[in-house]
Amino acid sequence: MQVKTPSGKAFEQRRVFGKEKNLIALPDLVEVQRNSYQWFFQADTDPDARSSQGLQELFDEVFPIESYDGSFALEFVRYYVDPVVMSLDEARSRDLTWSRPLRATIRLANRKTREIKEEEIYLGDFPAMTERGTFIINGTERVVVNQLARSAGVYLSAELGIPGQESFMAKLIPDRGAWIEFDLAPGEVLSVKIDNRKKIPVTMMLRAFGIQSTEELLSLFGAKEVERDLVEDEVRGMLLAEAIISGEGEGSVAIQKNKRLTKEDLEALWESGRTKIGVGDVDPAISATIERDNTSTPDAAILELFRKLRPNEPARMENAREYINSIFFDPRRYNLGRVGRYKINRRLSLDIPSTERLLTVED
């Protein structure tokens, strides 16, 4: 007696001599491949009713393509996956690829004259999947082996050594776009590398992303102003929360706001008669990073970041701002992806909507 698998292939029924007669049905082991192929192409779905996934999602992300001045736009309308043009046996005998033609309807819009031209174009042939979950490439049956790759998200790691000498790293990997690596070594500042370029202080990148002032930077890291007794061991190295101007003439004391307090500053404050000061309660690594950062405004940070990323190009503000926006805030060039956003939210305990695929201040 013959039985059939879900794919329709017939097998001889096995004889069972055990006591248990209710056997589990033989699973369809290639169902995963076939479902994945169908999910990507959605070939059997109406072109105007496809979900934004797979090939449809790729088209949605790339289009529209605009001219430099924005007067023309190339828009995607829909795509069609045509049936195969030959049989499996013919593809094998003629050493051909068993494939399906892919066509798309593209619209060219003139935004000045509002003239629209729509045309159907041929994009190429894509290999078709057989019922066995295989492909016929140049007459030979082949399978696709899944490749393990780093999934989008945030990865935290540490190099443990002598107590007090540990190094901590974080890697932010998008689905598409530049990788960002954070590094904190003992006695060092919190630095960041973008696409494996030169290290820069993380505060410089945050300023380039729109952080306006040092106070705003400190607030991101949970800094708060507190009143502290003027005890050297407790306040040395902290950031001064407010500018101090005390006295006039030779014995006057003037210390700028957000300055990291030194032994000399504290001695001068003692001599001026102060017993308490307001300091920023912030991690020493952050205060050291702010001190190492030679930029103080978003514009200065954008120019400096551009010089690090594109050292061979002249640093002009307009070009620098456009470049930074394109690599981090253009969804077509930078996208965390659905999985990346989910993993970042879960890892960092955030509650950012899954539809937000760009970096945010909270990230």
- How far apart are the C-alpha atoms of 217 and 164, rounded to whole Å? 26
Query: Which pLDDT value is given to residue 331?
Result: 84
Instruction: Give the residue extent of every domain in the chain.
Output: 30-142, 153-212+291-348, 224-281
- What is the CATH number assigned to the segment(s) 224-281? 3.90.105.10
210: Cα separation from own chain's centroid: 18
- Tell if the pTM clears 0.75, that is, is over it: no
What is the spatial distance between Cα 343 and Cα 153, in angstroms, rounded to a whole number? Answer: 5
Radius of gyration of the chain (CA): 31
- DSSP structural state of residue 260: B
Which helix (H) or strand (E) segment holds residue 284: the answer is helix 284-292
Tokens at residue 121, please?
């174009």
DSSP string for residues in 190-235: -EEEETT---EEHHHHHHHTT---HHHHHHHTT--EEEEE--HHHH
CATH class entry, domain 153-212+291-348: alpha beta
The structure tokens listed for 337 are: 């992806």
Give dist(CA 307, CA 212) in Å, integer. 20
Encoding tokens for residue 246? 């005390």
How many C-beta neighbours within 10 Å does residue 202 have? Answer: 23
Calpha distance 357→31 (Å, rounded): 31
* Phi, psi dihedrals of residue 179, rounded to the nearest 5°: -80, 140
**Type of residue numbered 87:** S
Q: Provide the pLDDT for residue 79.
A: 93
Q: Listing from the earlier edge strand, what are the strands of the sheet with 225-229?
A: 225-229, 276-280, 239-240
Residue 316 confidence (pLDDT): 87
Give pLDDT, residue 280: 61
pLDDT below 50 — which residues of the chain? 226, 249-251
From residue 184, how far is each of 5, 74, 188, 201, 351 by CA, in Å? 56, 45, 6, 10, 26
